Amino acid sequence: MNEKKRARAEARAEKRAARAAAFEKTCAALKEAGYAMRDKTISVRRANWLGFLCGLPFAAVFFGSMWFLPYRQYALTGVFLADVPLFFVLLAVSIPVHECLHALFWAAANRSFAGISFGISNATPYCACGRPMRRGGYILGTLAPFALLGVLPCVLALCFCNMFAAAVGACGILCAGGDILVAGRAIFSRARLLCDHPERCGFYAFYAQNGAK
């Protein structure tokens, strides 16, 4: 059993090393092509609490708006004992879906799944794309879970006056707080290309200079 655990740990370490090497190679190639590089990453641990602070205002606005509706429906199935486990099941399912949405939208931006990888850092699942992207495509992929797992359920909650959907949407927004943080940094970076970091939260920004295209 210990040998199997050791083998799995070694395999994970090799994959991480390979992703890091590929990332460094990509960055070096872009610098040789005439791009200036800036590190726009932060640690996953710091991103978790900063992201929570970024997502909290959005979640509070949507969830708080429910109290101004003329009436509210609190249940989804109508049975409290069924709604509680359903809520936690939806939250659990949303975790891999969240990362898959990053992958799908980044792959669409690059027209390829090449460079897409998944992992866990500090008990936090993540998806990374090792290929450089235009700023718009990167931001779209970064905010996809926020829009589809957070904002969309909240909008539906407001339309149908359903507190259950509002709670699911608010949690989706809070879980996407780190994405909001990274997207904000990407928007204000004004870089031509962004390369998602394989381990840390954020990206390396590349600015065109010396005739770089």
- Render pLDDT for 80-113 as a digit per residue (tens, 0 to 9): 677 889 999 999 999 999 999 999 999 999 999 9
Burial of 16: CB neighbours in 10 Å, binned 0-12, 13-18, 19+: middle
pLDDT in tens, 7-64: 777 777 788 888 889 899 999 999 999 999 999 999 988 998 999 999 999 999 988 8
pTM attached to this predicted model: 0.88
Q: What is the mean pLDDT of the chain?
A: 89
Burial code of 57-96, b = ≥16 C-beta within 10 A, e = fewer? Answer: ebbeebbeebeeeeeeeeebeeeeeeeeebeeebeeebee
pLDDT at 213 over 80: no
Let me know: does 199 contact 41? Beta carbons within 8 Å: no
